[in-house]
Structure 1
Amino acid sequence: MVAGLFIVLNSYAQRKVRYNIPLDSIRLSDPAILADKASKTYFMTGTGGMLWKSKDLKFWDGPFHVAKTNPNSWMGPNPMIWAAELHEYKNKYYYFATFTNRDVKIDTVGGNVIERRASHVLVSNKPEGPYLPMEDETYLPADKPTLDGTFWVDSVGKPYMVYCYEWLQNGNGTMEKIELKPDLSGSIGEGQLLFKASDSPWSREKDEHGNDKPNKVTDGPYLFKTGTGRLGMIWTSWIYDVYTQGVAYSESGTLDGPWLQETDPITPSNFGHGMLFKSFNGKTLLSVHSHKKVNDRTVRIPHLFEVDLTGNKLKVIKPYIP
């Protein structure tokens, strides 16, 4: 979730639960879908700290408030919640999300005041929550703004969080990894660099003199393996003012890379912050959101694309209409 593109939790907390809502009628940034086999239910999270439920991907019930943070923690009593994902792991369900405490300022860079923000993990015994804090109060450094944490387990069974170190502080956003404890209740060691925003050949922006340069934003990592066993990562940046979904592949087949960036984006313009899941009818789907102006206000709408992962590369086939 890019800085400034957020939805305050309170605006959702006051909403009543609605039923049988079409997917394209939901307003949600960073949609992430867990296909829970045990309950034969799809659970969709994203920005705002809420959850939607569906049996068919077409009609949804929600929003339900599921994230229960500790008001005495660094997050404060009412954190903003961005880009939540649900992951099933060892018979529990984990809520990876970005939490922001707007009352705590950690830095000022280039005139931008940087608030206390970090990726964190909550846990539940059920996919519908509630999701509660675990042992460690922090997973990532308090003096760095981090966001969009996602989950990966490597070939020897070590769990990791992969996340973005935000460009607001470093001027060139990075993608990083940190090892997690076996029960995901905290982190081990320090974060390690995977790649920088400037490594992308497709993302662009203008400098202060109007010259082209690589965009500074890293956003929304999500890891996958192709049918040939190749390790890939979808992630998002911008081509000028257009939100854009790209992909990179690890030459070594591990998180350590080196990561080779594909030359071209993988979706049409104005789609981003993707994640992948398999539907109950066996299709691999990409969940993303688009931006649209409505009455001078930007709204974000979830979309699904059908994806082919059987070969050596991820291929986006066509929009998926449930």
Structure 2
Amino acid sequence: MKWLFAAAALLGLTGAAPAAPQGDAPLVLTAMHLHDPWIVADAASKTYYLFTRNEAAMSGDQRLGTMVYASRDLKHWSKPKLAFVLPAGLWAKAGSWAPEVHRWRGKWYLFTTFHNPDLPLGKNGTRATYRRGTVLAVADRVDGPYRLVRGGEPIVDGSLMTLDGSLYVDPKGKPWLVYAHEWWQTTVGTMEALPLTDDLAAAGSPQTLFKANDAPWAVGQKQSNGDVVYVTDGPELYRSKTGTLLMLWSSYGQKGYVEAQARSTSGTIAGPWEQLGPLV
């Protein structure tokens, strides 16, 4: 799962703009439906935009997609509107998980994960696998509306059951999709990276960065069929002020669901990746 992207606050927008009037922004975080939220700090408009899966109870719209809240101070938020709606007739039927929004070459791009249990991919033991993957949509404005790219086909090969795709741009300006290869298909979940073209399409084969059970703190989850599985969720890459390349990611530890970090000892996406342990 994605976690609230704290790096948004680093742009200092809170100090650059007054708090939004509560009449225009009546909501606080505890009153908002949030599932894998992602924040963009937009310097041009001095506004924070929080993206999450659409919830009809908040937006008043039943359609499958992504909604967005807006704030000037990270405390008071507007009522949400739909930034993206999945068009009817596509392969996907459910999901809209873990939206991310990134600026790339003059446009805004939305990455979000969908699935369809009625489109089988075969079996992993007794588990029937099915299509799941991150799709791409584009907009001229950060708050949308977003339209699908390449007909809504997943960025990663559709035979792979993947989720939580995240854009990473390396120091040479080359884009990558970093994502979790789902434990449902692999038993031991992996974190993988796919090189992309400049139009954010696949440009080669995926590379495995690490497995969930490479982390000494990770605890396998026993399933009803007797399998012990290891979860990989929610990769986020971040380069520190000292140049260290870090990844936030999630799995299960001794006390439940954990947000942890890993470090690339080479400073590149290829790693090797050293597991640093739980944060939260």
Structure 2 CA distance for aligned equivalents of residues 127 and 41 of structure 1 = 10
Give the Cα separation in 1 of the matches to 2:90 and 2:222.
39
Task: Provide the rounded CA distance (Å) in 2 between the counterparts of 1:19 and 1:44.
Answer: 13
Query: Where do 4+ consecutive residues of structure 1 move more than 4 Å?
Result: none
Q: Does 1:71 align with 2:88?
A: yes
**Aligned-residue RMSD, C-alpha:** 2.3
Counterpart in the other structure of 1:96: 111
Task: Report if aligned partners of 1:152, 1:160 keep a CA contact under 8 Å in 2.
Answer: yes
User: Percent same amino acid at aligned positions?
Assistant: 38
Relative contact order (C-alpha < 8 Å, sep 6+): which is higher? Answer: 1
**Secondary structure of the residue that 2:48 maps to in structure 1?**
strand
> Separation in 2 of the partners of 1:113 and 1:61?
41
> Which sections of structure 2, spanning at least 5 residues, go unmatched?
3-23, 55-65
More strand by share: 1
Moved more, 136-145 or 81-90: 136-145
The answer as to whether partners of 2:37 and 2:98 remain within 8 angstroms in 1 is: yes
Match of 1:216 in 2: 230
Equivalent residue number for residue 229 of structure 1: 243
Using the TM superposition, give the Cα deviation of residue 242 of structure 1 relative to its aligned residue in structure 2, in angstroms: 1.4
Tell me how far apart the structure 2 counterparts of residues 164 and 138 of structure 1 sit (CA, whole Å).
13
- 1:156/1:206 CA distance change after superposition, 3 Å: closer
Residue 241 of structure 1: how far off its partner (Å): 6.2
- Number of residue-to-residue matches in the alignment: 245
Structure 1 residue 63 displacement after superposition: 2.4
| Amino acid in structure 2 at the alignment position of 1:139 | I
Show the 5 A alignment for 1:283-302. none
How far the C-alpha of 1:138 sits from its partner, in A, is 3.5
1:109 is displaced (CA, Å) by 2.8
Tell me the residue number matched to 2:5: none
Q: Distance in 2 between matches of 1:105 and 1:20?
A: 44
Q: Distance in 1 between matches of 2:221 and 2:83?
A: 40
In structure 1, distance between residues paired with 2:78 and 2:125: 43
- Residue pair 1:206, 1:240 contacting (<8 A) in 2 also: no
Q: How far off its partner does 1:206 sit?
A: 5.4
**CA-CA distance at 1:34 after TM superposition:** 0.4
Residue identity matched to 1:164: A
Q: What is the aligned partner in structure 2 of residue 143 from structure 1?
A: 159
Residue in 1 aligned with 2:38?
Answer: 32
Q: TM-score, normalised by structure 1?
A: 0.71
Gaps of 5+ in 1: 3-17, 268-322
Aligned to 1:20: 26
Partner Cα separation in structure 2 for residue 88 and residue 206 of structure 1: 37
